[in-house]
A and B are shown apart, each in its own frame.
Chain A
């Protein structure tokens, strides 16, 4: 396959610019017309957009509400805790990039690019200092990590493993002298990331187990898993969230209240796990029968066969599908704004409706939503970039 593709590309690469244009843009009357129309219109549209963005748009709501968009109603005197978390993440990514290079470095570069990009906006001084500080943390990590890569490997892995607990402690508080910040004050990008990351990490093992369960030869396990997967897949996420947030209190005594965020996290995880299970099942079915037979010929038991032979191949085959699902989960988190949690899009709605902007002609909807879209795009694009890296690294499709 790959050799034919290269042979087909070669003549193009060697030909001159005129030939390329003729072949790709002017190879017929219709295509020539389309090319001319696009050449006229694309610059005009771009010019109008840029002119609007620079001269007409009111970016003030985004600038004054930057903290709200990033952290929601998190108390201002405790925002340093979130900034500390971000600095730790950047430092860890810097260290990891220095140690392992390759893929981790791509992610790190993406994160640094994100911080630098937003530091260019006219936000408050403290917000920009925070962004620059995080970049510095990443760079320090990188230049410390590179020379000492062999020594730092184990400590950095340990740090990664305990980091979720550090973040939880820092963000929520209520221990070690840090005042408690209740989850209803969490919001903005902070909440979006928490929902997406916890959803992705927690749904992965559950989804894999469900997929294995559905392939099981034990009927009860098989039917339970199938029932769960089909039931959840047959219901929109929005109604699962609605159930978790509004209907659950009906079944609980009035003095028991489960934290809203926890309910939403469980709903998102359970929902995502069912879809993940179907993706993984596709991977499981793509593993040739011979692999199982070879494994048993080697004397491996069921667990060894599953976790050492079948799953690694199955998961590798479905990486694109999994990343696609994580990207959609990241965007689906915006649905929680209908159940009263103000994640990035919810906060955008709040900012648009602040009384200060009523006098702005045409409202500030476009600016604020464009900003939210940029943030979403950045994360989704980074995720898909990473997935391509992983695919290339593992050689999906070439073996």
Chain B
């Protein structure tokens, strides 16, 4: 909060200085942004001038307004798609420190589940999955980076929430990974519900919403617990492994992979309870409907490709398929890509580059990887999961 307000204040100061110093340039830039941004923007992105005068007020909401306000140039300076095309590459806000989702291998290649969605977008726009620059972002700077146009899209294990849509000015694309906070316990303790954990000591990482969700879940059933708070994930799990706690909690994806680093993984079990919903979704800046549609439909396209059995290996053969769903998905029929401002065969390029959703999942999180997270809610809806691609027609 403090940082936000400070940044808001400084940005207002600098904005004022900038406007004063080069009023010529400002005069040509400023009027265009409210006009362009107004029809699509949420109230949070008001006219920059109005927000700038409000910002020094003590209300804490003033700060995000000040930071979002000047962000309008992204939307006003023509479409994001055109900016990306002119630049010749996509800039993807990513994470390089989450195993399986985004990391850098020993040869310097950025790899991961989220990373492949960035590559898919680059393939959709340029036909080349390598025309993307990864801009590693920390949790604190990620929204500012999108607001200022430092990145075109944020694909960095970010939970879709109401506040982020409104106050932070994000537009979320479909969830590409459904996560949820879980609890891991020792098999021998025979614990099944949160009530069973009454009075238990639970290892938890500090400074995340994890701690808060844990307290909420216990309060809801009237149980008590003793938190053992640790600075980072490694400390949390080594303490649990050493027997300092009865249970350990974090996102289920994290539990699954961390279980393997315990001294005897088979002695531990992830309880069948979910403390919070964590739908991780890509996000773009509000105000450019076309760009949001592109991100949205590339993801739906990847979902559909898995449902229809279109894979990286067979995509060229599938071009001659008789199934109208596949023909439309691959752009053999119809002008669906043109509606997005892309080529009609954009999904062919995407699938040739990274495969379908299931292939991306298996490559980074599947059973043959060290992460090995069962598909669970991330299975296709036909298999009882939540992955549901909207129809291409």
- Contacts from A to B (Cβ < 8 Å): 64-65, 67-68, 72-76, 182, 184-185, 239, 242-243, 245-251, 253-255, 257, 338-340, 342, 346-347, 349-350, 352-356, 358-363, 365
A-B contact pairs, 5 of them (CB 8 A): A250-B71, A257-B87, A350-B96, A353-B99, A361-B261
The reply to whether the CB of B338 lies closer than 8 angstroms to some CB of chain A is no
A361-B262 CB under 8 A given contacts A246-B145, A251-B18, A356-B370: yes
- Residue on A nearest B138 in the bound complex, by CB: A338
Q: Tell yes or no: B74 within 8 A of A by CB.
A: yes
How many Å lie between the Cα of A347 and that of B106 in the bound state? 11
Q: How far apart are A84's CB and chain B's nearest CB, in angstroms? A: 19
Residue among A64, A67, A247, A360 with the most chain B CB within 10 A?
Answer: A247
CA distance A68 to B111 in the complex (A): 14
Interchain CB contact under 8 A, B73 and A253: yes
Please give, as numbers and ranges, the residues of chain B lying within 8 Å of A359 by CB-CB distance. 260-261, 370
Q: How far is the CB of B94 from chain A (nearest CB, A)?
A: 9
CB-CB < 8 A to A248: which residues of B?
A: 148
Q: Which residues of B contact A356 (CB under 8 A)?
A: 370
Q: Bound state CA distance, A6 and B372, in angstroms?
A: 69
Is B279 interfacial (CB-CB < 8 Å)? no
Q: Which residues 77-107 of B have a CB within 8 angstroms of A?
A: 77-78, 83, 86-87, 96-100, 103-107
Other contacts beyond A249-B148, A346-B136: 6, CB < 8 A:
A182-B133, A184-B135, A350-B97, A353-B103, A358-B99, A361-B261
Separation in Å of the B208 CB from the closest CB of chain A?
A: 16
Is B108 among interface residues, defined by CB-CB distance under 8 A?
A: yes
Taking CB atoms, residues of chain A closer than 8 Å to B257 are 355, 358
Binds A, one of B3-11, B177-185, B197-205, B321-329: B3-11
- Contact (Cβ within 8 A) A358 B18: no
The reply to whether B238 and A362 contact each other, CB–CB distance below 8 Å, is yes
A111 and B135 CA atoms in complex are apart in Å by: 33
B96 in contact with A358 (CB, 8 Å):
no
Report the bound CA distance from A358 to B133 in whole Å.
26
Q: Are A358 and B261 in contact (CB under 8 A)?
A: yes
Which residues of chain B from 246 to 277 have any CB-CB distance to chain A below 8 Å in the complex? 257-258, 260-263
B390 beta carbon closer than 8 Å to chain A: no
Does the CB pair B107–A76 fall under 8 Å? yes
Residues 1-59 of B at the A interface (beta carbon under 8 Å): 3, 6-7, 10-11, 14-15, 18, 29
Chain A residues whose CB sits within 8 angstroms of the CB of B136 once the complex forms: 340, 342, 346
B114 contacts A by Cβ under 8 Å: no
B234 contacts A247, C-beta separation under 8 Å: no
Asked if A361 and B77 sit within 8 Å, CB to CB, the answer is: no
Which residues of A are found within 8 Å of B109, using beta-carbon distances?
73
Question: For A354, what are the chain B residues with a Cβ–Cβ distance below 8 Å?
Answer: 99, 103-106
Instruction: List 9 tightest A-B contacts by C-beta distance, closest first.
Output: A254-B77, A73-B108, A355-B99, A363-B234, A353-B97, A250-B70, A249-B148, A340-B136, A350-B104
Q: Does B224 contact A (CB under 8 A)?
A: no
* Docked CA distance A242–B369 (Å): 36
Task: Choose among A68, A339, A346, A363 the residue that contacts B238 (Cβ–Cβ < 8 A).
Answer: A363
CA distance A245 to B145 in the complex (A): 9
Q: Contacts A76-B108, A350-B103, A354-B105 hold; do A246 and B98 have CB atoms under 8 A apart?
A: no
B258, A184: Cβ atoms closer than 8 Å: no
Q: How far is the CA of A350 from the CA of B18 in the complex (A)?
A: 37
Chain B residues lying within 8 Å of A352, measured Cβ to Cβ, are 97
Assess whether B260 is in contact with A253, with CB atoms less than 8 Å apart.
no
**In the complex the two chains form, is A249's CB within 8 Å of B150's CB?**
yes
Count chain B residues whose beta carbon lies closer than 8 angstroms to a beta carbon of A. 59
Q: Which of A185, A251, A359 has the most CB of B within 10 A?
A: A251
CA distance A257 to B141 in the complex (A): 18
A339 neighbours in B (Cβ, 8 Å) = 141
Most A C-beta atoms less than 10 A away, residue of B15, B108, B370 = B108
In the complex, the answer to whether B148 meets A250 with C-beta atoms within 8 Å is yes
Interchain nearest-CB distance for A79 vs B (Å): 10
Whether A245 lies near B96 (C-beta < 8 A) is no
- Bound Cα distance from A76 to B103, whole angstroms: 18
Least distance between A14 CB and chain B CB atoms (Å): 52
Which chain B residues lie closer than 8 Å to A251 at the CB level? 14-15, 18, 70
Contact of B144 with A by CB under 8 A = yes
In chain B, what residue has the closest Cβ to A124? B106
Q: Which residues of B contact A74 (CB under 8 A)?
A: 108
- A254 contacts B83, CB within 8 Å? yes
A73 with B104, Cβ < 8 A, contacts A249-B149, A353-B98 known: yes
CA of A68 to CA of B238 in the docked complex: distance in angstroms? 27
Cβ contact within 8 Å between A363 and B7: no
Picked from B10, B14, B70, B137, the residue with its CB within 8 Å of the CB of A340 is: B137
Interchain CA distance A349-B140 in the complex, whole Å? 16
Is B135 touching A246 in the complex (CB atoms < 8 A)? no
Cα–Cα distance between A67 and B109 once the two chains are bound (Å): 12
Q: 1/0 per position for B343-364, CB-CB distance to A under 8 A? A: 0000000000000000000000
CA distance A243 to B83 in the complex (A): 23
B241 contacts chain A at the CB level, 8 A cutoff:
yes
Cα distance A361–B238 in the bound complex, in angstroms: 8
The complex places the Cα of A357 from the Cα of B91 at a distance, in Å, of 28
Within the complex, the shortest CB–CB distance from A190 to chain B, in Å, comes to 12
Q: Using CB atoms, name the residue of chain B closest to A260.
A: B135
Instruction: Collect the chain A residues with CB atoms within 8 Å of residue B155's CB.
Output: none
- Of A67, A358, A365, chain B has the most CB atoms within 10 Å of the CB of A358
- How far apart sit A359 and B97, CA to CA, in the bound complex (Å)? 16
Query: Is B284's CB within 8 Å of the partner chain A?
Result: no
Contacts A239-B3, A246-B148 hold; do A355 and B371 have CB atoms under 8 A apart? yes
B141 touches A243 (CB 8 A): no
Query: Which A residues lie within 8 Å of B133 (CB)?
Result: 182, 184
Pick the contact of B106: A67, A242, A253 (CB < 8 A): A67
Contacts A350-B103, A354-B99 given; indicate if A242 touches B141 (C-beta within 8 A).
yes
Closest to A61 in B: B106
Which residues of the other chain, A, contact B29 by a CB distance below 8 angstroms? 253
Mask: chain B, 217-242; 1 = CB below 8 Å from A; 0 = not: 00000000000000010100110010
In angstroms, how far is the closest chain B Cβ from the Cβ of A360?
Answer: 6
How distant is A48 from chain B, measured CB to nearest CB, in Å?
17
Report whether B369 and A355 are in contact in the complex, using a CB–CB cutoff of 8 Å: yes
- Least CB separation from A182: chain B residue: B133
